[in-house]
């Protein structure tokens, strides 16, 4: 984490492997646009128009309302409450701090997968609880939920699961292992699940559970977020020109290419086994237990 906070956001879309900054900027842009729309809507008497637009980012608690705007299962995670700027501020700061760990040690694509999976898991738990549990069904009279918290919790818990003994230096507290920070967040959300923001706190726990599951599955050799990247690549292909591939029919080149492909495949398999072993070691003994060469291998793998 050598680059400064501001440097990460300079020319965000012009840099490769910069999903962390891009996700944060998307959240900030949507917050800013909705805030401007809200203010002018009040001034010009267009509250109903603003309400319609805001509903496209707000996931309702009842299935009967949700099926009318199913896209909100994801869009809600890119909007924030306009009542206080601290909602988006704290979410994005926590996402940035913990997200850097994921990007540095697992790679750029993993932060995208975790964000999307965390948002979906949070929304799924939120919908299930408000439509099945009587206690919550009685309280389902609100318009909906917005916020990236479920996705942020997924990233936070994922980082704490991957390297539980990694230390953050907190103001007034000094060095604190991130597993305790994640545990504190989960505890506060559990207590808050019967409070004024019950829906949000329930979604937090859904996102947290996904973050834990994602890393455990990754350590077992299963990347449950591959479909997220595949889907994103599919839609991206409609907007980004693909370079034309020249085909040659020379036997010698084909054999040489086949040989290189076989060697590359073997090397990739061996590399993945080494990374899985390193991740297991982190899970059992913490990141600090790694040797210098193991840290370097993990760092190199995150850049691929």
> If DSSP states are collapsed to H, E and C, what string results for 197-241?
CHHHHHHHHHHHHHHHHHHHHHHCCCCCCHHHHHHHHHHHCCCCC
Q: What is the dihedral of CA 109, 115, 116, 118, to 10 degrees?
A: 130
Is the confidence at residue 121, as pLDDT, over 70? yes
- Using an 8 Å Cβ cutoff, are 125 and 149 in contact? no
Tell me the residue ranges of DSSP E strands in 43-197. 167-170, 174-177
Characterize 88-103 residue by residue with b for buried, 16 or more Cβ atoms within 10 angstroms of its Cβ, and e for exposed. beebbebbbbbbbbbb
Q: Residue 171: which pLDDT band, with cuts at 50, 70 and 90?
A: confident
> What pLDDT score was predicted for residue 283?
58
Q: Is the dihedral of CA 56, 61, 64, 66 positive or negative?
A: positive
Q: Residue 17: which pLDDT band, with cuts at 50, 70 and 90?
A: confident
- Using an 8 Å Cβ cutoff, are 167 and 176 in contact? yes
Q: Residue 239: which pLDDT band, with cuts at 50, 70 and 90?
A: confident
- Using an 8 Å Cβ cutoff, are 79 and 62 in contact? no
- Using an 8 Å Cβ cutoff, are 105 and 163 in contact? yes
Closest CA to 94 of 118, 75, 71, 74: 118
Question: Please, what is the Cα angle at 136 between 134 and 140, to 5 degrees?
Answer: 115
Closest CA to 304 of 264, 252, 249, 244: 264
When pLDDT is averaged across residues 11-40 and rounded to a whole number, the result is: 89
The 10 Å Cβ neighbour count of residue 153 is 31
**281 vs 297: CA distance, rounded Å:** 13
> What pLDDT score was predicted for residue 68?
96
Q: What mean pLDDT value characterizes the chain?
A: 86
Which residues have a Cβ under 8 Å from the Cβ of 26 and sit 6 or more positions away? 78
pTM score of the predicted model: 0.79
> What pLDDT score was predicted for residue 288?
60
Closest CA to 109 of 27, 18, 24: 18
């Amino acid at each position: 984490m050598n680059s400064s906070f501001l440097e990460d956001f300079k020319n965000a879309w012009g840099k490769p492997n910069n999903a962390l900054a891009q996700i944060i900027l998307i959240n900030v842009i949507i917050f800013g646009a909705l805030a401007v729309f809200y203010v002018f809507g009040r001034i010009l008497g267009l509250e109903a128009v603003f309400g319609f637009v805001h509903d496209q980012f707000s996931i309702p608690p009842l299935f009967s309302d949700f099926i009318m705007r199913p896209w909100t299962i994801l869009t809600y995670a890119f909007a924030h409450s306009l009542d206080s700027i601290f909602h988006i501020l704290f979410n994005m700061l926590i996402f940035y701090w913990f997200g850097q760990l994921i990007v540095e040690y697992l790679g750029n694509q993993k932060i995208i997968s975790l964000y999307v999976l965390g948002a979906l898991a949070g929304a799924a738990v939120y919908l299930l609880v408000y439509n099945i549990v009587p206690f919550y069904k009685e309280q389902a009279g609100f318009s909906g939920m917005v916020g990236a918290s479920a996705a942020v919790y997924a990233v936070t818990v994922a980082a704490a699961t991957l390297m539980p003994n990694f230390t953050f230096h907190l103001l007034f507290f000094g060095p604190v292992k991130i597993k305790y920070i994640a545990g504190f967040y989960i505890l506060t959300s559990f207590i808050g699940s019967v409070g004024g923001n019950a829906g949000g706190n329930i979604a937090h726990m859904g996102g947290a559970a996904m973050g834990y599951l994602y890393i455990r599955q990754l350590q077992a050799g299963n990347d449950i977020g591959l479909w997220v990247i595949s889907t994103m690549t599919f839609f991206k292909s409609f907007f980004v020109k693909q370079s034309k591939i020249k085909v040659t029919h020379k036997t010698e080149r084909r054999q040489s290419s086949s040989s290189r492909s076989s060697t590359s495949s073997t090397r990739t398999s061996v590399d993945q086994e080494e990374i899985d072993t390193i991740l297991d070691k982190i899970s059992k003994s913490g990141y600090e237990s790694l040797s210098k060469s193991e840290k370097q291998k993990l760092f190199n793998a995150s850049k691929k």
